[in-house]
Amino acid sequence: MGGRLSLLKRRKQKYLFESKQALKVSLILLIAGVFLGQPGNLIVIAIPNLEDGFRLGFPPLITMLGGILLGPWWGLALGGTLDFVSVFLWHGGENYIFSFGLLVMLRGFLAGFIFNHLFSEFNWKSLITSILVPYIVTTAIGFPLALNYVFGTPIWENVYTRLTFQALVTPIYILIAYFIVKGIKEGRKVRELNEQLEKLLKVDELTGLSTRRHFNEFLGKMVALSHRQGRPLSVIMADFDEFKKINDSFGHLVGDRVLAAAGEIFKSEIRYEDMAGRMGGEEFAIVLPGIDISGANEVAERIREKIKDLKLDPLVNPISLTLGVAQLKAGETASELLDSADKALYQGKEQGKDVVVKDYKKL
């Protein structure tokens, strides 16, 4: 049972490139493979007792790299396409042999399957196996059988010659593939770390709302846009009433649950173009582009009522929220707009809390 679970877990391993990038990468590999498959780009290796020697080319490596980087089915498609295009372009369509094309497709598929589904991580063992096994199966076994079937070439002599050739070639393939895959994986790790860092800077982990920094950046842009277009822009500031009592009476874990639930309520009550942010502690803010103070007041009232209806164990008394609403005035800055909403909020605190107060200044 444990072995089955382990295999299933490996099958879920992400490929080095996502599906959106796979087509672009496969096209790059295809172009490189066709170019390197040109007869003038091949390297001739002389082997003792062999009159013609062997030509070293990189299309086999590119096919296996396709499977390793993109997955077995992409490796299969890349191998078949690369072989077909290369033969027709460099040798003429009359020289295309279907059985050879199938072996090239198998090579790409096996490399992708072994690397992505039989191994859970990238290391020398996984890469050597992913290159060596498909290359031996197709080049040392499959091609001699195909050559014997098509041209009557002796099988065992061809197998011995190809194994000798592979002993020279596969270390080169493995070294090249190792540094390519290693470079791609390290680049991907850096990219993922940057994405995680960017997300941490933009999203509050507890509530799922924007961080203060991201919110202020967005608000600044919306204020400039509102002044330029002459459209209304409103802001809501919200703060829990007597939140310290919740933490003191029930602990910070319960307090965190309240904040997380509030985050879900905020997100459910705003539009896609709006933004809600956690400004710090139990204080929140919402920016509503294109909404005047009356519309913002309606949003604030809905949020206040939903917070009051919130039921969370072991809380007994209703949770309340006081909110201040302000609309952008002519020539007003983002910080001044926030300050207006904040003053309205604290006016509500002085009035007895659990209320929504509009900005007392004239528009």
Phi, psi of 276 (to 5 degrees): -110, 140
Which residue from 301, 213, 202, 282 is spatially nearest to 244, judged by alpha carbons? 282
Q: Is 194 exposed, middle or buried (0-12, 13-18, 19+ CB in 10 A)?
A: exposed
Q: In whole angstroms, what is the distance from residue 131 CA to residue 174 CA? A: 7
Q: In whole angstroms, what is the distance from residue 358 CA to residue 340 CA? A: 9
DSSP secondary structure of 152-165: ---HHHHHHHHHHH
Phi, psi of 92 (to 5 degrees): 95, 145
**Which amino acid is it at 321?**
L
Angstrom distances, CA of residue 199 to CA of 16, 103, 209, 211: 21, 45, 11, 10
Annotated active-site residue 282? The verdict is: yes
Kind and range of the H or E element at 239? strand 233-240
DSSP 15: P
Catalytic residue among 51, 195, 282, 336: 282
Positions marked active-site: 282
